A and B are shown apart, each in its own frame.
Chain A
């Protein structure tokens, strides 16, 4: 299923020719997978994997270097009482705090992800958005989380959305450094329909996304199981068609270990186990980490823990 995308009509024709998504059926499938019972050894494995997939995130106007340093410390040593706890995958911050994070995380293997392109709204001229990206990359970001232009998408201007992603991908490549990985945030809550989520997923992948991401976390609904199901189907089908593997990151609204494990089941039974790896699946979250650690501790100690026994960042 190779596709040439020379004119607007081609891209539109292709995206609108993708099979539709029946909402009721998709939600029923996600609900059925959410009813899987993951216990004992499977649960322990899943908890550790989930921790290692977290993009620990702070994206607040009130972020300071101190806050970012504390978050990085948490990411490096999630549970001071238990050195066997895995470290997180990445720390996700605004571009002007990348440098601080980078310094804290030197030699840890934990990546620094930066939002860019006038996050979260994406409403700015292209040159401003690209400057945002170049700045983040120059500051040392290993990964860039961009937002698509939802307005353009909903207006049917797929070409514009596509070309912006291509331009951002180019801007991620700064001379003399490894190319920053590009995550493309679809903001599924604004796209509203699963058909749109499927189309936006394919559009982003055709334009070169390394990861597709559900949400900015700044609006509700953010990540949901059904939306992530659609995106996992999309990356599976894309690899079948084009031979290239793209990652998936649900972000926002994932608060409990139970939620996280449900996402892993979804990955396992949809895209498959090739995606069960931090290189191909991330969880965008902040408070999730402590719930995962609490569950982890409960399984080891055989009793329930309380918040006093886990650190704040």
Chain B
């Protein structure tokens, strides 16, 4: 029996995040998300292939604006997201504890790492060109330079953890101007939606990040084969499907990322940033 003095909580609904809005799945389906002991946590939306299709369209629409923003501006926008994440620290900690059944101290470690990870990536926006670009000393009276440019729409199958892994696969794509369709962890999807709420209330333009929840095995093939997706991160793919997805991705020669770091807490390499960057090399004569 509920204690008649205890306040009845206002429970949160978890929907998809597409094009800056929070729609339910067009299929109307949901699935049950449980806590570490099998107890009911929430009904999360169960995204369909049409939701995935809509998310890719939204990401494509958002790409020209986001990729042509100055690097400084993107860095500012992402840093502000970190400020908002910091404000919601307690909420994330409690969501992760509920989902994984871990101690407060452990949950705090992961949440702090996720926020710091976001800050780390934000600071790359206006530096990656200096590390990755170059002027090239060609033999001839030409000025020749190479610049990194974002590839476009990136599909991401997030790893099967609640937050740190999600941040670690989404942030590196968007910092350089790509836009993302992310499929959250099937088992622990809720913090990803809470993160979407942060994105929706920040200065990140609508469509830059889109988040789908549901059966990864159902949605992944549609993203892997989508001809308007330029790259895909297969980290969260069910192992039985990984090869098939990689083959499907070759339909339009997507850039594929699949490596899983042994320790998500360790400082990342640049691989995930570089994976979604094209290199453009320009020649121009230099003569009077």
User: A and B: direct contact (Cβ < 8 Å)?
Assistant: no
Tell me the B residues contacting A by CB distance below 8 Å. none
